[in-house]
Structure 1
Amino acid sequence: MSEIKKILILGGGFGGVNVLKLIQNKFKNNPNIHINLVSQDNYFLYTPMLPQVTSGLIHPNDITIPIRKLCKQAEFYHASISYIDVKQKLVTITREFDGKVHALDYDYLIVTLGSSTNFFDNENIEKYAFAIKTVEDAISINSHVIHMLESAAQTSDMDFKKELMTFTVVGGGFAGVETMGEINQLVRDSTKNFYPSIGDENICMNLVASKDFILSELGTKLGRMATKYLKNTGVNVITNTKAVNAGEDFVQLDNGKTIPGMTLIWAAGIDIDPVISELECNHHKSGKLKVDKYLRVLEHQDVFALGDCAFIINPETGKEYPATAQNSIHQSITVANNLHSIITGKTKLREFSFKSKGMMTTLGRKVAIAVVFGFPITGSIAWLIWRTYYLSRLPLLEKKFQVATSWLADLLFKRDLTFIGLIKNKYLTKVDIKSDTSSVKDFFNEN
């Protein structure tokens, strides 16, 4: 193999980062393999621990890893993807800082763009709700919760105090349940230790789920056990219900009831990136890309897709694989192996098939529920398994150390309640790069 092959990876999530690491290992020090990775974030986000950032249990930097640290022989582009042209094998990207447009060509394309929050075209909910999808979302929620605590401690109006201390999370899946568990613990512990004027009786926690029980992925029994535990910790679990409207100080439900409160967190759906929906290929009705058993996009054998943006059928069940980090990691192994086989001239490709070893979720301090190899586990043992597993899966040793240190500190000390306000960012919109460079040179020559 002497011809140079260009591999382009779109997305820096679990799928993209793992494909990158595997391909770099398979083509180690090969000068004929050029790898590019494009992501609108310059870091990989370890999403299973994102709810713990909302409560201040761990620092945002603990679960964010600069992608450049993972690029051993790849070039990284911090940019958004504007357009994918599969006919001409070109991808148009836009640089985040100044909006400069650039085109990248490829021989093989790996599409692993994640999803965004789906508000189902409800403009009011999108306007007034916090999402829980990005690290910025988690930081915003943490700051907002602390802001509500500070405000509630300084008002004598009891009705207003209760509104400030009412928190509603919509979504009965992993993200919604774990976020509610973290926030409930933060608010109640903080009220007890630092805000005695608020009073525990004024705290109202609501978890709204559209199904009969929460955590349906874990089955009826564990879902109902999770409901019982949350109720015992003061959470109102409202099932068979949807949120249909929201404002600054209320959430309206489809059962006719309205929850007065200042905080709404939306964890009830995901949406596909418009770039994926506009791609000229076969799509599922959800907008996801249809792929074959080797994870190649139908009718485009030089394009692979995995993760949230790909519609992948489990051959054993006939149903779609759920959009989980665990599935994305195993899909990346199949993609990397098949790409290596194609480039090196091997004819046998590997079909994707994966049977999950288990699923887990935390409900609060020292409490979790899990299904491991088909066996249900609850309580502190499940909590230890959850922490051990996810800590071991963090990509860098330094991040494992940081998270473990944060967890240890939480067992020994009380949570940090520092309120961080808005952060200002600067972007270039009118600067001429060439003239700007010459003016800088003139400045330094004169001085």
Structure 2
Amino acid sequence: MSKIKKILILGGGFGGINVLRLIQNKFKNNPNIKISIVSQDNYFLYTPMLPQVSSGLIHPNDITVPIRKLCKQAEFYHAAVSYIDMKQKLVTVTREFDGKVHALEYDYLVITLGSNTNFFDNENIEKHAFTIKTVEDALSINFNLINMLENAAQTSDLEFKKELMTFTVVGGGFAGVETMGEINQLVRDSVKNFYPSIGEENISMNLIASKDYILSELGPRLGKLAGEYLKKAGVNVLTKTKAVDAGEDYVQLDNGKIIPCMTLIWAAGVDVDPIVSEIDCIHKKSGKLKVDKYLKVLEHDHVFALGDCALITNPITGEAYPTTAQNSIHQSVTVANNLFSVISGKSNLKEYSFKSKGMMTTLGRKVA
């Protein structure tokens, strides 16, 4: 009897879920293959639409799918990854509901654990800012927006009203720009239609970006056009600027300016999960895993890595591919094909290469 080969997938994001889907199809009804997936959330989340949840435009159910629904022949572990031991081929996980620690064996491992929000060691900003990484984050922002509107409508103190109606988003990438576009539209429409006592003149929207223009992934022409559109929509777009401090009612910029505001949203960077950076293998300085052209972790032929936790470079430009959902999905195809080849004893592994089909962003409810 053939030995059962164990495939373990870590992460339930775009990369992990697509590898799961593809590898289940490739080994459909194969009794000698056991597939398992571990995720801290028991649902797949379509993260690009979190800004729309933050504005109340769509419901969280519209962008989530239960992972168990996708497990046609896989076992699902609702747990957090605690430790990865590549020498022993063991992954330690901690169950979400009772904190019990469990060790999972594997023959083949796929690491796609994504990233964490990076506050660059700024404890005050971490304490006082909202983030936009999870469903809970988006709902918290939405509840806060409504609360600010209600409070502003009931105060006669003009300065306090302006503080309540000042919203600052830090981060000029897709998440920050789309979040600003959504909340700007929500707040302005709400004041116009439901809270006329606030006065549109008391609304202040601030988008802080460290680079010369927003949406640098799209290039200078489109990035600057997007910035001009947001300015026309009433947003103060502050480029070449960083937030360096924050409190309950203010954010301080690196030019010394202090913006009185009650709502600060941080979308200014991500960092590698410490679980990934602590693996005993070859990393980049950032903590990301080094992989070869087949997306195998260096010196570990039975381990693949993709998404935010892996440094995957374009062989033509020598630069890292952007960490987008589009890239993760394409990487998952390469990983699934190569994983199938390795397990099946085939030598025709495919090198990863990708040419973007274009990117899209929304700047509010009427412009994309």
In the other structure, the counterpart of 1:276 is: 276
Secondary structure in structure 2 of the residue aligned to 1:110: strand
Secondary structure in structure 2 of the residue aligned to 1:292: coil
In the other structure, the counterpart of 2:247 is: 247
Matches within 5 A, 1:17-56: 17-56=17-56
Secondary structure in structure 1 of the residue aligned to 2:338: helix
TM-score by length of 1: 0.82
1:221 shift after superposition: 0.9
Distance across 2 between alignment mates of 1:14 and 1:64:
12
Distance across 1 between alignment mates of 2:156 and 2:98:
48
In the other structure, the counterpart of 2:169 is: 169
1:61 shift after superposition: 1.0
Secondary structure in structure 2 of the residue aligned to 1:50: helix
Distance across 2 between alignment mates of 1:183 and 1:116:
23
Letter in 2 for 1:156: S
Number of aligned positions between the proteins: 368
In the other structure, the counterpart of 1:121 is: 121
Secondary structure in structure 2 of the residue aligned to 1:364: coil
1:3 shift after superposition: 2.2
Secondary structure in structure 1 of the residue aligned to 2:298: coil
Matches within 5 A, 1:29-428: 29-368=29-368
Letter in 1 for 2:346: K
1:2 shift after superposition: 2.6
Deviations 1:44-88 (A, max 9, x none): 000111110000000011101110000000000000000000000
Distance across 1 between alignment mates of 2:366 and 2:261:
29
Distance across 2 between alignment mates of 1:252 and 1:317:
37
Matches within 5 A, 1:5-16: 5-16=5-16
1:345 shift after superposition: 1.1
1:29 shift after superposition: 0.5
Which runs of at least 4 in structure 1 moved beyond 6 Å after TM superposition?
Answer: none
Distance across 2 between alignment mates of 1:58 and 1:228:
26
Distance across 2 between alignment mates of 1:337 and 1:365:
38
Secondary structure in structure 2 of the residue aligned to 1:354: coil
Secondary structure in structure 1 of the residue aligned to 2:362: strand
1:348 shift after superposition: 1.1
Distance across 1 between alignment mates of 2:294 and 2:179:
35
Distance across 1 between alignment mates of 2:316 and 2:322:
14
Unaligned runs of 5+ in 2: none
Larger CA Rg, structure 1 vs 2: 1
Distance across 1 between alignment mates of 2:344 and 2:240:
53
Letter in 1 for 2:217: E
Distance across 1 between alignment mates of 2:235 and 2:263:
15
Letter in 1 for 2:50: L
1:241 shift after superposition: 0.4
1:153 shift after superposition: 0.5
Deviations 1:373-410 (A, max 9, x none): xxxxxxxxxxxxxxxxxxxxxxxxxxxxxxxxxxxxxx
Deviations 1:343-390 (A, max 9, x none): 11111100000110101101012212xxxxxxxxxxxxxxxxxxxxxx
Distance across 1 between alignment mates of 2:254 and 2:348:
53
Letter in 1 for 2:221: K
Distance across 1 between alignment mates of 2:187 and 2:121:
31
Distance across 2 between alignment mates of 1:91 and 1:247:
40
Letter in 2 for 1:232: K
Letter in 1 for 2:119: F
Unaligned runs of 5+ in 1: 369-447
Secondary structure in structure 2 of the residue aligned to 1:259: strand
Distance across 2 between alignment mates of 1:366 and 1:227:
15
Secondary structure in structure 1 of the residue aligned to 2:363: strand
Secondary structure in structure 1 of the residue aligned to 2:359: strand
Deviations 1:181-233 (A, max 9, x none): 00000000000111011000000000000011101111111111111110111
Distance across 1 between alignment mates of 2:107 and 2:160:
60
Letter in 1 for 2:162: K
Letter in 1 for 2:236: N
Instruction: Give the share of equivalent positions with the same residue, in percent.
Output: 81
Distance across 2 between alignment mates of 1:125 and 1:244:
8
Distance across 2 between alignment mates of 1:321 and 1:126:
28
